[in-house]
Structure 1
Amino acid sequence: MTSSTTSIQIQLAARPEGWPAQEDFRTVQIEYGELKPGQVRVENLYLSVDPYMRGRMTDAPSYVAPYALDETLTGGAVGVVVASASDAVPVGAHVLHAFGWRDVAQEDASSFRIVEEIDGIPLSLYLSMLGMTGLTAYVGLTAIAGLQEGDTVFVSGAAGAVGTAVGQIARKLGAARVIGSAGSAEKVELLTARYGFDAAFDYKERPVREQLAEAAPDGIDVYFDNVGGDHLEAALDVLNRGGRAALCGAISTYNDDDKPAGPDNMANIIKRSLRLEGFTVGGYGHLAGEFQPLMAEWLRAGEIAYDETVVDGLGNTVQAFLDMMRGANTGKMVVRLSRS
């Protein structure tokens, strides 16, 4: 027989207009009763904050339902099972799930996936390289852009969680040249010195169109887009004939109140037989089975570099999200919770 417990959770109090602010969120206490048959109780160890969450805070049609006002936000999390009424998910198991933005989750066992502990690899990587972040990069390069050996690849927002994964996976899959953009000189240095990019530039320094043309004098074959806006426009300038673009995100426009202007060179799509395809990773879960063993092998061999920006404490989750939206993170932004 399990006792009841209190869960501290973060809810959406108001829909942000423009940039989100602290007052758009509230912290509440939720009481969980005794476990029902088939349920498990999980203490969260790491929470994920991601750019897509900003889109869900707006009440507009999208690929996934918006967050509801006055209800607890959701997102990726890794935790440990502390109570179980399910033989399939025992106490002590580490699990990956979608009940983030809280310290304790209590749901049906089918909502949690047991994850393997890998020596020397933190569990938080199931929120990045081993999880949705890494799978997003893999799907965009393979299933969407059809990466071929010898391709030149450009990655926008390359110092973020997805971007750092894209650059390295592209190299492992045979790309000949990988170019990235980032928002500071320090991040540009990281891309070339740590993540193996051949060239990188600071998009705040000069127009992206100028800098990308200089970094890719022979054009690019694949564009992995995390930013949209001026980056997409610059990519359309230099994509070679038959080039492919995997459109993953458009973080440059997420907080705009006005509709952004479209690229002025869309005719290049026709002239050069380009293919631009948007995607969300949710429709490609079937590829996780081929991706995760590959990534685990690369990580064990020390062939993949990763960085995490770790913020401690559930009470700092909102600030971590706001900082991530402004590019304050290098690699994946995660919130670490101390186990009670």
Structure 2
Amino acid sequence: MTVNRQILLTENPSGKLAESHFKLSEGTVPTPKDGELLVRTRLISLDAANRAWMQGATYRAAVDAGTVMAGGSVSEVMEAKAPGFAKGDLVFADTGWQDYAAVPAKGAQKLPKMEPLSHLLSVYGIAGLTAYFGLLEVGKPKAGDTVVVSAAAGSVGTIVGQIAKIKGCTVIGIAGGAAKCKMLTDELGFDAAIDYKAEPVGKALRKAAPKGIDVYFDNVGGDILEAVLFGMNNFGRIACCGAVSQYDGAAPAHGPRGIPGLVVVKRLTMQGFIVMDYADRHDAALNELQGWVNSGKIKVKEDIMTGLENTPKALVGLLAGDNVGKRMIKVD
């Protein structure tokens, strides 16, 4: 019998996440029931949301200590006990951090076979679709607008900024470190980049966006959200995608100041969203994303690590901002 390696969450951390909160275990390969697929994981998606799931239920159930760490993956079907699927198919499913999983077929999304396979998790996966719908449907950018993106060197932020440029906007990225900021402007075409580790964000935004900010794509929340709020123009739009600054560690001493006063005075729109809200339009979005990638208008940034055993290290590093682009684990 083939061994099923699994990464278990051994305890829910009260402070910062560490590799010690996980352990590598060995289980048996599950047998799929009627309506299920037995899949083998190929690429595991790593996202800041993984950390949020440890804190309680969100748009999915919380991850309990002692269970396989939750996470989505690109997986290969090994056995299908449901119509519409066959051995060898590729699917995206909530498999968790393990070699094999039995997943409900109704929750598995069939994927096309393509090279590189990694694009199915980055630009054609949740990251790309989140960027697409969050910016275009929530942010509603118009040509000539000034768009600011936080966590701009991450999986979603790199794509948001490039789509905003395609739409004729001035784009300012906020990222941590000079190397990331240089990458944003030199490689991805951002008009400006602010290193939040090196300078006050509010002051830098006033210089980079002297006419104010029309659209803010927020991946971090916290103090950066506060700084951007004060620079928003009347009737500005804020797409609330995540709050990674508040996922890992102790709760912040205060929330972003300026709410609700600035929201009222400037008539701002702040809207949260999740990519599943637009499930019926994914195919159209993917077609457009593929066209932009093929034409060179979107450059894809990926951060691929190898080995299931390195998944905890990879997530801890992602939360610390080590990644550039979409981080994932290639399961060997």
Q: TM-score, normalised by structure 1?
A: 0.92
How far off is 1:176 after superposition? 2.1
1:155-209 deviation line (CA, Å, top 9, x unaligned): 011000010011011222x132010011010000110111110111111111111
The structure 1 residue matched to 2:180, chosen from 187, 203, 212, is: 187
| CA distance 1:33–1:211, shift in 2 (3 Å) | closer
The structure 2 residue matched to 1:332, chosen from 310, 326, 332, is: 326
CA distance in 1, matches of 2:264, 2:161: 27
The structure 2 residue matched to 1:7, chosen from 4, 7, 15, is: 4
Which has the higher mean CA deviation after the structures are superposed, 30-39 or 278-287? 30-39
Is the 1:78–1:94 contact (alpha carbons within 8 Å) kept by the matching residues of 2?
A: yes
Is 1:163 matched with 2:160? no
1:17 maps to: 14
How far off is 1:29 after superposition? 2.0
How far off is 1:289 after superposition? 2.4
Which has the higher mean CA deviation after the structures are superposed, 61-70 or 314-323? 61-70
2:220 maps to: 227
CA distance in 2, matches of 1:82, 1:151: 48
How far off is 1:250 after superposition? 1.3
Is the 2:17–2:249 contact (alpha carbons within 8 Å) kept by the matching residues of 1?
A: no
How far off is 1:37 after superposition? 4.0
2:49 maps to: 52
Matches within 5 A, 1:1-340: 5-58=2-55, 60-118=56-114, 121-172=115-166, 174-266=167-259, 267-338=261-332
CA distance in 2, matches of 1:257, 1:128: 30
How far off is 1:23 after superposition? 2.0
How far off is 1:234 after superposition? 1.5
CA distance in 2, matches of 1:104, 1:131: 21
CA distance in 1, matches of 2:328, 2:9: 19
Question: What secondary structure, in the 3-state scheme, does the structure 1 residue paired with 2:183 have?
Answer: helix
Question: Which amino acid is 1:252 matched to?
Answer: S
How far off is 1:65 after superposition? 2.0
| Root-mean-square deviation over aligned CA pairs | 1.8
Is the 2:31–2:38 contact (alpha carbons within 8 Å) kept by the matching residues of 1?
A: no
Question: What secondary structure, in the 3-state scheme, does the structure 2 residue paired with 1:95 have?
Answer: strand
How far off is 1:290 after superposition? 2.0
- The count of aligned residue pairs is 331
1:98-136 deviation line (CA, Å, top 9, x unaligned): 113111122333332221123xx4111221210111111
Is the 2:306–2:330 contact (alpha carbons within 8 Å) kept by the matching residues of 1?
A: yes
Is the 1:191–1:200 contact (alpha carbons within 8 Å) kept by the matching residues of 2?
A: yes
How far off is 1:269 after superposition? 1.5
CA distance in 2, matches of 1:239, 1:36: 53
CA distance in 2, matches of 1:263, 1:34: 48
